[in-house]
Structure 1
Amino acid sequence: MNQINKKDRLDQLPDVKINDFEGPLDLLLHLIKDAEMDIYDIQISKITSQYLAYLHVSQELKLDIAGEYLVMAATLMRIKSKMLLPTEFSPETEGDENDDPRTDLVNQLIEYQKFQQAARQLKVQENERQAYYTREEAAVPKGMQLAHLAPGLTIEALQQAFQKVLVKQENAQPIHRTVTEDQLSIGDQTKLIKKILAHHPQGIAFEELFQQNYSIPKVVVTFMAMLELVKKKQLTFQQESELGSIKLFNLGD
């Protein structure tokens, strides 16, 4: 007889087990959705019966049941018993939602739903991000020579100066900002650099060419424009002393 009852309960329940859920709230939400109930008006008697049926089947299948599932079972039984008890009518408490013993449970389920939705959105973003490949920072090739560097100035020193500018610009950006695509070109930045250097015949400090409102992409494009001018022998870098400030000088057209 017990074997028949066990089989009947298994046939009445969907083909899922306690192990398929992340916790008692997850199981409750599944039962509510499967029964097409309004989460704000849970048929607590029906849900409690279904919930307990899952626990009984899991026990008969000798599956481990976490204590939190048993705590929820006790909570459902308590709510069910309160709803079965007659309540005294009071004009002062008429329509008071706090008298509904399901209120706390409904609030928990709604909050859990919000976390589930947020987790799904984060998962989508994670999958989208995995479709991108971030190239690792490339080291400066050994033995590389850059024209028009003053004696003592190395590629590494120039690279360090650029990294300092990047950090400074990143720290200067507001925490909350709207991301927009800058319409940049190396050609435009080379013209701007040549115009600035034309007004500074005595040279200008490397970091002064990066204005405070420059975005990170604009900083990168500006640096590439500098290297392009060096390549064309229209600009040179100089460093008066080791670890000293790097200056840019115009070499003419």
Structure 2
Amino acid sequence: MSTPVLQEDYRVTLDAFQGPLDLLLYLIRRLEVDVTAIPVAEVTDQYLAFLNEVDDIDVELAGEFLVMAATLIELKSRTLMPPETADTDAADGDAPRPAVIDPGQELVQQLLAYQRFRLAAEALDERRNAFFQRYPVRPARGGRDDAAAFESEPVELELDDVHVMDLADAYERIMSSIDFDRLGDHVVEVDDTPIALHQADLLDRLERSGIGRLTLQTVFAGHSRVQRVGLFLATLELARLRRIDVQQPTIDAEIEIVLVSGEEPISPTPGG
């Protein structure tokens, strides 16, 4: 049996794969076969050829890859041997051997589970990228020195206990708990009004109020839900820039927006 040669322009590194299952899925995709119908001999030859192409092997990193190589070699050797009959021992008068777990089927189940989680992780990554493309983070203009210093400080996130499989598992549980047939069609309303325009409108309304003070309920009155979202974001941005103060005297009182005097007006820009 001829072994397909790896692509010459492909740089062979173990770092490119998250584990031996990831490498196996890559080889199976290249063969264009189903996971449940793995050509064991061909996949084993390509897997071993891949490991032979690795120049420097980190023993700690390559340990799992070598264990998988041993498993594949065992599976390949079984495919080359004649199948054992269950009646052999019975014919000799011995008790039948206990059922042994087929490592081939166990490997297929591991690949199917890994493939399912890998697809879920990729779906999460696509949603993350789409979210950041839709809501870009842009630097504020005219911010205070202390605000700039705060934004420049790096934020350290403790993610040692978080694994991509945890996120994929959570995503799968959430998706399985939603009845999409019951939800039906949903129309998403889009508001392309720049936040800077909402800011200028809010400042103008505060100035025309005569007292430089409006309740948040008054600001939202007469606007749609998506427009309220834009006004709310404009309120947060103006408060961050200290153009307004947000006050609530008591826990049950209405939230009030108070204009801070002595600031330059905001001019809406086309791309704001």
TM-score when normalising by structure 2 = 0.43
TM-score when normalising by structure 1 = 0.46
For the pair shown, the structure with the greater C-alpha radius of gyration is 1
